[in-house]
Amino acid sequence: MKKFTVPLITILTTVTFIGCSKNNEQVNEQVNEQVNEQVNEQVNEQVNEPVNEQVNEQVNEQVGEHVYGQIVIVAELSGDGKRDKGFKAAEDALQRVPDMRGIFAINDPSGLGAVGALEKAGKLDQITVIAFDGMPAGKKAIKEGKIYADPIQHPDKIGRECIKAIVAYLSGEEVKPNIDIPATLYTKDTVDAGESLTSEEPAGGTADKKSRGLIGATCMDIANPFFKVIEANMRDEAAKHGYDLIYLGAENDVSKQQKQIKDFLVKKVVAIAVNPTNSQAIGTAVKEANNANVPVFSFDVRVQAEGAKVVSHVGTDNAQGGELAGQAMIDALGEEGGKVVIIDYRGVESCIERVKGFKKVIDAHNATLQ
């Protein structure tokens, strides 16, 4: 912090007594000390008061208005990205950490489950919930003040950008191996600013009369509203470019998803888009597509199996989104800080990245307090 020098003004005043006392010199010295002390005190008050005020203003500008306390992540409980399991995880957290002040849930369903548990326990107004995704139900909870903030993904953009990458590749264009779509923070202030509570609605494709081919897409859980938005926008974008789309859900069953990819090959699809239920296990089916010279693209979650070739991955920058969640938690807990519980989804790469980003910001914040 910048150091400030406060000026000190000393006024020396000499008072001389002339009289018959032979101790005049000693008396003069004592009186001068008393007068100088009194005068200096008055002058310093007058000079230092405005200077100190100026110094304090400058220091406050440097430090800022907010003072933040330490945040301790005391538990990580699995919610599997589902509302009922998020509810159970939050109930367990309340038993384990009755004085917790925050919950970070890795998606809206688990976050909404946590909200339900806190409402049941009468503690929603005492514990800050931050979720992830920004789906309509999550945004509604933010508007109602039940969830503090969501780093939101943009499933509409994920769906459209994935189809655009497929079309570009099939047209002989070069395609980036990674297409990251940044998350943005959604808060009550965002809602108050008048932002829509729904994702971008498909405008309606204008497909050519003759199809240019069939694209096969499979997601881990078609019941999740997030993947429904992706489907709608994929279908619309494909139609715009003259392609048909078959979009299936694997219900979190990797064996079912492997079979879906094999069926795509039987149907002679021109490209496959996969949101893997298991990033490693899906590799065998992806390799079959590679051997059949059918290009494979991934969305939301990467294919990580060795030897499985993917042309391009399209998805949210989940680590960056987790960082947004971490900073939102710091802002929400303020100078008190406190204990925080994470409701995660173990084994899913995108959710692991969110937790990493969250912890990164929290750790950096705590380091500044030491």
Q: Is the pLDDT of residue 244 over 80?
A: yes
Q: What is the pLDDT of residue 34?
A: 54
CATH ID of 69-370, from 3.30.2140.20, 3.40.50.2000, 3.40.50.2300, 2.60.40.10: 3.40.50.2300
Q: Is the pLDDT of residue 27 over 70?
A: no
Rounded CA-CA distance 12/172 in Å is 90
Report the pLDDT averaged over residues 308-323: 97
The label of the residue with tokens 């497909």 reads 207
Q: Is the pLDDT of residue 208 over 80?
A: no
Q: What is the pLDDT of residue 30?
A: 52
What does each C-alpha distance from 43 to 12, 81, 184, 203 come to in angstroms? 12, 68, 55, 75
Give 118-153 pLDDT, tens digit per residue: 999 999 999 999 999 988 899 999 999 999 999 999
pLDDT tier at 221, thresholds 50, 70, 90: very high
Give 159-171 pLDDT, tens digit per residue: 999 999 999 999 9
Q: Mind spelling out the 3-state secondary structure of the chain?
A: CCCCCCCCCCCCCCCCCCCCCCCHHHHHHHHHHHHHHHHHHHHHHHHHHHHHHHHHHHHHHHHCCCCCCCEEEEEEEECCCCHHHHHHHHHHHHHHCCCCCEEEECCHHHHHHHHHHHHHHCCCCCCEEECCECCHHHHHHHHCCCCCEEEECCHHHHHHHHHHHHHHHHCCCCCCCEEEECCEEEEHHHHHCCCCCCCCCCCCCCCCCCCCCEEEEEECCCCCHHHHHHHHHHHHHHHHCCCEEEEEECCCCHHHHHHHHHHHHHCCCCEEEECCCCCCCCHHHHHHHHHCCCCEEEECCCCCCCCCCCCEEEEECHHHHHHHHHHHHHHHHHHHCEEEEEEECCCCHHHHHHHHHHHHHHHHHHHHCC
> What percent of the chain is modeled with pLDDT above 70?
77
Q: What is the pLDDT of residue 203?
A: 58
Q: Is the pLDDT of residue 350 over 90?
A: no
Give the chain's end-to-end CA distance (angstroms, integer): 16
Q: Is the pLDDT of residue 214 over 70?
A: yes
Rounded CA-CA distance 87/313 in Å is 32
Q: What is the pLDDT of residue 202?
A: 61
Give 258-308 pLDDT, tens digit per residue: 999 999 999 999 999 999 999 999 999 999 999 999 999 999 999 999 999
Q: What is the pLDDT of residue 233?
A: 97
Q: Output the furthest CA–CA distance in the chain (Å, rounded).
A: 127
The label of the residue with tokens 């406190």 reads 338
Q: Which residue has the higher pLDDT, 171 or 197?
A: 171
pLDDT tier at 16, thresholds 50, 70, 90: very low
pLDDT tier at 210, thresholds 50, 70, 90: confident
Q: What is the pLDDT of residue 59?
A: 30
Q: Is the pLDDT of residue 52 over 50?
A: no
Cα–chain center distance at 155: 16
Report the pLDDT averaged over residues 54-68: 43
Q: Which residue has the higher pLDDT, 57 or 90?
A: 90
Q: What is the pLDDT of residue 19?
A: 39
Report the pLDDT averaged over residues 334-360: 94
Q: What is the pLDDT of residue 288?
A: 98
